[in-house]
Each structure stands twice: as structure tokens, then as C-alpha cells.
Amino acid sequence: MPKILFEDSSIIILSKPAGFAAQSANVGQKDCVSFLKEHLAASTSRKSGEPYVGVVHRLDQPVAGLLVFAKTKEAAALLSKQVQNGVMNKHYVALVEGIIDEPDGRQLCNYIGKDPKTKNAFIANSPEESIQVREAKLIYRTDKILRDKNETILSIDLITGRFHQIRAQLSHMGHPIVGDRRYGAASSYPNGIALAADRLEFMHPLSGEKVEKIVDFSFCL
């Protein structure tokens, strides 16, 4: 189940486990939104109507990590603007197949789109290859090399936020995320894939002060 890390009158920050949906269209399926609505309904005195939970950004269901939700429409609008303007910073950690030795960091840039049939992201060689592609950028750095397992732990900063961006870009460079069979991984991982959003930074929608949350996700199993 998700774990609430911070809550005030405007926002809730929680840690989502791998395999748990941020928001689901399936009736009856437990997700972060329904979890938070139940929490708010139980912790506040309400005369009628269900509590408001504003979805600001998402994580793929197989991905663990930090999410911030808004408790008011005003907070949701301000946080969404931060996402659109690149003010909200999201950092990830990933365990990938193969050895990557880039301790100083390297930028990865591709053109990425979404296949309407497979629902997977794809990498294009150029923007002219498909009218549906957009530029995707991230910076990755080697945190630890696990030579006995032929795996590498990467630190990843997103510059753009495209559909399945990290998963598709790492797979395209020949290093799929452990457990991500959808993008070519040969190995499995408990309850999801070995990718987690471990740090989240943004400006508080009410006070304007910087908010930073960090959670340690260990992939050294």
C-alpha cells in the first residue's frame, strides 16, 4: 500500500509501491487516488460529497516512487503549471541490464513517440520519421556497477517527461530496466520493474517555499 510522507492543507506527498496504480480507470481496482480519498474521508469531517484529490503527475504502475497530489483545485492548477514549465524536478534510480560506466554523467537525447497499436513508446531516428514523435532528453550517471550480476544502478534526471521515456530510451541503448519485459528485459523483478522516482522537488503552491522529499530505494537484492 502507498505510504503518506507529508500532508498539509494543500498537498499530500506519498510513496507509491511498484505494481500499484497511481490512477486507474478500472472500477474496483485500488489506486492512489482512491486510497487518498478514503484517507481524507476518514480524517476529516465532511457533510456531503467525496474529498477532492487532484492528480498532478503520474508514475507507470510497475514503477515505485514519489507522487504529490493536490487537496484543492487551486493547488492542483499551480502544481500542474510547475510540471508544464519544468519547475518540478523528478529524479529516478534504475537497475539496468548490462554494464554502464558513466560516473560523470551523460545526456541521452532521442525522438520518441507512442505506437497506437502496441501502446508502447518507440524511438525514431529523426523527427521526420513520424509526425507523432517529440524530443526526449535525460541525464544518466552510474551509481554502482554490479559486475557479478552484469547489472548497473543508474541515477537519472529527467529533462523532458515523455510517455515511458526512461524505459524506452534505456532499452534503445541496449540496457533495459531489470524486470521490464515490455521493453526487452530478460530478467524479472518483484511486483514491477527496477525503476523508482526517489526524489521530488517543487515549490509549495501556498507558501512558495521549496519542498524536497527523498526516499531510498535499494536495488541490491
Q: Give the total number of structural domains in the chain.
A: 2
Is the same domain home to 31 and 74? yes
Rounded to whole angstroms, the Cα distance separating 198 from 93 reads 7
Grid cell 554502464 in the structure block, residue: 100
Rounded to whole angstroms, the Cα distance separating 165 from 63 reads 13
Rounded to whole angstroms, the Cα distance separating 27 from 7 reads 27
pLDDT at 49: 75
Looking up residue 151, the CATH number of its domain turns out to be 3.30.2350.10
Is the same domain home to 98 and 174? yes
Is the same domain home to 131 and 170? yes
Asked if residue 178 lies in contact with residue 97, where contact means CB atoms within 8 angstroms, the answer is: yes
Q: Is residue 187 part of a domain?
A: yes
Is the same domain home to 175 and 207? no
pLDDT at 221: 44
**Which structural domain, as residue segments, surrounds residue 182?**
92-195
Rounded to whole angstroms, the Cα distance separating 72 from 59 reads 21
Is the same domain home to 138 and 78? no
Is the same domain home to 206 and 157? no
Q: Is residue 143 part of a domain?
A: yes
Is the same domain home to 142 and 169? yes
pLDDT at 7: 97
Is the same domain home to 99 and 151? yes
Prediction pTM value? 0.90
Rounded to whole angstroms, the Cα distance separating 71 from 88 reads 18
Is the same domain home to 111 and 188? yes
pLDDT at 129: 61
Q: Which residues pair with 6 in a beta bridge?
A: 13
Q: Which residues pair with 97 in a beta bridge?
A: 151
* Alpha helices for 44-102 (secondary structure H): 73-84
177-204 burial by CB neighbour count: b if 16+ within 10 A, else e?
bbbbebbbbebebeebbbbbbbbbbbeb
pLDDT in tens, 36-93: 999 999 886 655 678 999 999 999 999 999 999 999 999 999 999 999 998 999 999 9
Asked if residue 35 lies in contact with residue 2, where contact means CB atoms within 8 angstroms, the answer is: yes
Catalytic residues: 60
Rounded to whole angstroms, the Cα distance separating 198 from 92 reads 5
Is the same domain home to 30 and 122? no
Q: Is residue 219 part of a domain?
A: no
Rounded to whole angstroms, the Cα distance separating 50 from 123 reads 41
pLDDT at 119: 92
pLDDT at 198: 96
pLDDT at 214: 94
Rounded to whole angstroms, the Cα distance separating 83 from 160 reads 10
Is the same domain home to 166 and 205? no
Which portions of the chain are predicted below pLDDT 70?
25, 27-28, 44-48, 128-131, 219-221
Give the single-character DSSP code of 183: G
Is the same domain home to 28 and 113? no
Q: Is residue 221 part of a domain?
A: no
Q: Is residue 220 part of a domain?
A: no
